[in-house]
Structure 1
Amino acid sequence: MARNPIQFQPGLSLPAFLEQYGTEEQCRAALFQHRWPKGFVCPECGNTTGCQLARGLYQCHHCHHQTSLTAGTIFHATHLPLATWFLAIYLLTQRKNGLSALQLSRELGVSYNTAWKLKHKLLQVMHERNQGERLAGRIEIDDAYLGGERPGKRGRGAEHKVPFVAAVQTDDDGYPQRVQLRRVSGFTLAEVRRYAHAAIAPGSQVVSDGLGCFRAFESPDYTHERLITGGGRASAQIPAFNWVNTVLGNVKNAITGSYHAIRGQHVPRYLAEFEYRFNRRYDLKAMIPRLLTGAARTPPMPYRLLKLAEPYT
C-alpha cells in the first residue's frame, strides 16, 4: 500500500533543529530576522537606522528610543533563554498530537507554571494567526461540544460544555484541505451568521445537517446543501460529512489523549493548536519559521490576560 506523503514526511529532526537553533546566539539571530527581515525598524517612529548597545538593546538614530529584541513580541519580558522558547516551538509543531504543560515542563526542564505560560503564549500566537483565514469552496460543517460530562443536564447545551463550529474545506477530489474550529456562544441563527460572515468566503458551497442555526447559510452569498441526518451513529457515517466527522474525532482524541482537563476559557487556544498544525501539515519543516514570524508579530500576552476568557472568534 502506498504511503501518504504528507503523513510520512520527515519533518525537522532534533539534531537538525539543534544545529540550526541550538545556541542562544543562533536564536537571537533568527528572531532578529523574523522581526526585522529588512533590518532594524524603530517601533516608536519607524526609522530604519539604529545601533546595538552593549546591554543588548537597540537604539534608534532618529528618536533615540531604545528597545530590546523581544520587546513588543510574545517573548516580551521573558526571563527564559530564547533557546528554551525555540525548543518549545519545535516540540509543539513537529508532532501530530498536543503536548501537555506537564510533559513540556519535563522536556524543557522548567516548572509547570512556567511551561503552562510559555505554551499558552505560543498557542495564542496560533490563535491570532488563524483568525484572518477564511474557508472557500466546498465546506462540510457541523456543531460540536468540548468538555466532559457533569452532573445535571446532558446533551446539547449541557453545563460546562463549550460549543464550537467545525468546518472542513475539501478539494475537487473530496480530500480535506483546511479546517476551522471556532468557539461560538451558542448554536443560534444570529451567532452562526456572525461566524459565517467572519470565517466563510462568499460563493462557498456549504454542506450541513438539519440543525436550525445553519439556515444562516441560506443567503445569496452561499450555496447551502442541508441534509437531515436524524442523529445517532448512522448519521456520522453519511458520506457528505465524512471529513468533518473524521476531524471531530481526531480533535477530541488529540485533546483528551493529551490533557487531563481543560478550562472553558482556554478552549479556543486548544482548538487553534489543532487547526494551526492541520492547515500547515504539508510542510512540517516550515512550521517552525512560520510560527517564529507569528511570535515576533504578536503583541505581549501577560499572564493576567492568559487566564481570561477568549472572545468568541
Structure 2
Amino acid sequence: MAMNKIQFQVGMSLHKFLHRYGTEEQCEAALYASRWPQGWQCSRCDGRRYCCTHNGRRLWECLDCGYQCSSIVGTVFENTKLPLTIWFLAIYLMTQSKNAVSALELKRQLGVSYKTAWLIKHKLLQTMLLREEQRRLDGRVEIDDAYLGGEKQGKRGRGAASKTPFVAAIQTNSEGRPHFMRLTPVAGFTHEALKQWSTECLASTAHVVSDGLWCFEAVTHTAAQHERHVVGNGKLAVKRPEFHWVNTLLGNLKTALSGTYHAFNHAKYAHRYLAEFSYRFNRRFDLAAMVPRLLRAAVTTKPLPLSILRISEARN
C-alpha cells in the first residue's frame, strides 16, 4: 500500500515549535507580525504614527488620536493574565495532535487549572467555528444526515432529545478525492432546516448528491443540481460508492471524538467540536502552517469573553 503523503507529512515538531515560539518575546513578535503585517495601525483612527511604552506589556500609543493599546487588545487573547507562551502551546497542541486534544489534556500539558484550560480551548474552538462558517462547498458535494449522542433508532429524520442532528457534507475534487468538508448542526431534518443549511453552506453552482431523505430536496433552493439516490437501510446502504467519502469521514469523526473526548455536552457544544474536526481536515495539506494560521485567525477575531461563549452556546 502506498504511503499517504498527507498523513505522513512532517508537520511542526515540538523542537521546531519551541525554537520559534519558546519565549514570551518570540510569541509577542509573532503576534505583532500576524496582526499587523504592514506595521502597526491604530484601530480607532487608522493612524500609523506611534510611540511605545510599557505597563507590564508593551503598549502602542497613537500620536494622532492618543489611543493606547497592547498587541492583545481587540483579539481573542484580550484580558488574558496568562503568558503568551501558554496560548501558543495550546494552539500547537490543538493543531498538531493527531486527534485533537481535550481540555483535560490541555490542563495537564499547559500546567493550568481545568477551568482555564476549558476557556482557552473553547475560545480557540469558537475561532475555528467562525472561520468555518465562511466556507461554501462547491462542485460535487456528498451529504448525509447524522447524529451525535448515539445511533439513531426508529424512523429516519425524527430527532430525539438525547441526540444532536447535524448535516455531514464533503466536497470532492475533479479526481474524486475529498477536498473540503462541513459538519453543521441543524434543528432537525426538515425542509426548512435544510433550506437554511443550503443557504449557509453551499455555493449556487454546487452539485449535491444525497440519499432519498425527502428534506434534502430543499438544497435546490441554493444548489444548481441535486442528485438523489434511494438507498434504503442497513450495511449495504453505507457502502454505496456515491457516498463513499461522506461515510468515510463520519467513521473518522466517530473514531476521533470517542478517542479524544470521553464525554461532552453535544447539545451545547456540538457546533464547536464539529467545527474543530472540519477546521483541521480542511487545512490538512500543510500541517505545520496550521499554527500561524490559527494565530492569524485568533488575532483577527474579536474578544470572546465567557459571556459571549455562553450566548453562542444558547444559539446552537
TM range (shorter): over 0.9
* CA-to-aligned-CA distance 1:18-64 (integer Å, 9 cap, x gap): 00000000000000011111111111211122121122211111110
Supply the AA of the counterpart residue of 2:8.
Answer: F
Verify the 8 A CA contact 1:236 1:245 in the aligned structure 2: yes
Name stretches of at least 5 consecutive residues in structure 2 with no aligned partner: none
Verify the 8 A CA contact 2:207 2:223 in the aligned structure 1: no
Q: Does 1:287 align with 2:277?
A: no
Find the aligned partners of 2:254 and 2:223 in 1 and give their Cα distance: 31
Find the aligned partners of 1:149 and 1:79 in 2 and give their Cα distance: 42
Find the aligned partners of 2:154 and 2:229 in 1 and give their Cα distance: 27
Supply the AA of the counterpart residue of 1:31.
Answer: L
**Alignment partner of 2:239: what SS?**
coil
Find the aligned partners of 2:98 and 2:314 in 1 and give their Cα distance: 24
TM-aligned CA deviation for residue 78 of structure 1: 0.4
Q: Does 1:261 align with 2:284?
A: no
Find the aligned partners of 2:165 and 2:277 in 1 and give their Cα distance: 16
TM (normalized to structure 2)?
Answer: 0.94
**Alignment partner of 2:100: what SS?**
coil
Find the aligned partners of 1:275 and 1:60 in 2 and give their Cα distance: 39
Find the aligned partners of 2:196 and 2:73 in 1 and give their Cα distance: 34
Report which stretch shifted further, 46-55 or 218-227: 218-227
**Which residue of the partner structure matches residue 164 of structure 2?**
162
Find the aligned partners of 2:59 and 2:245 in 1 and give their Cα distance: 50
**Alignment partner of 1:76: what SS?**
coil
Verify the 8 A CA contact 2:199 2:222 in the aligned structure 1: no
Aligned length: 311
**Which residue of the partner structure matches residue 132 of structure 1?**
134
Supply the AA of the counterpart residue of 2:50.
Answer: G
After superposition, where does 1:77-156 map in structure 2 within 5 Å?
A: 77-148=79-150, 156=158
**Which residue of the partner structure matches residue 48 of structure 2?**
48
Find the aligned partners of 1:186 and 1:52 in 2 and give their Cα distance: 53
**Alignment partner of 2:275: what SS?**
helix
Verify the 8 A CA contact 2:74 2:302 in the aligned structure 1: yes
Supply the AA of the counterpart residue of 1:222.
Answer: A
**Which residue of the partner structure matches residue 233 of structure 1?**
235
Distance 1:172 1:310, change over 3 A: farther
Verify the 8 A CA contact 1:266 1:310 in the aligned structure 2: no
TM (normalized to structure 1)?
Answer: 0.95
Q: CA RMSD in A?
A: 1.8
TM-aligned CA deviation for residue 137 of structure 1: 0.4
Report which stretch shifted further, 94-103 or 117-126: 94-103
Task: Return the match for 1:67 from 62, 66, 69.
Answer: 69
**Which residue of the partner structure matches residue 304 of structure 2?**
301
* CA-to-aligned-CA distance 1:73-118 (integer Å, 9 cap, x gap): 0001001100000001000001221211111100111111110000
**Which residue of the partner structure matches residue 30 of structure 2?**
30
Name stretches of at least 5 consecutive residues in structure 1 with no aligned partner: none
Verify the 8 A CA contact 1:153 1:159 in the aligned structure 2: no
Q: Which runs of 4+ in 1 moved over 6 A?
A: 152-155
Distance 1:129 1:220, change over 3 A: closer
Find the aligned partners of 2:151 and 2:143 in 1 and give their Cα distance: 24
TM-aligned CA deviation for residue 219 of structure 1: 5.2
Percent identical: 51
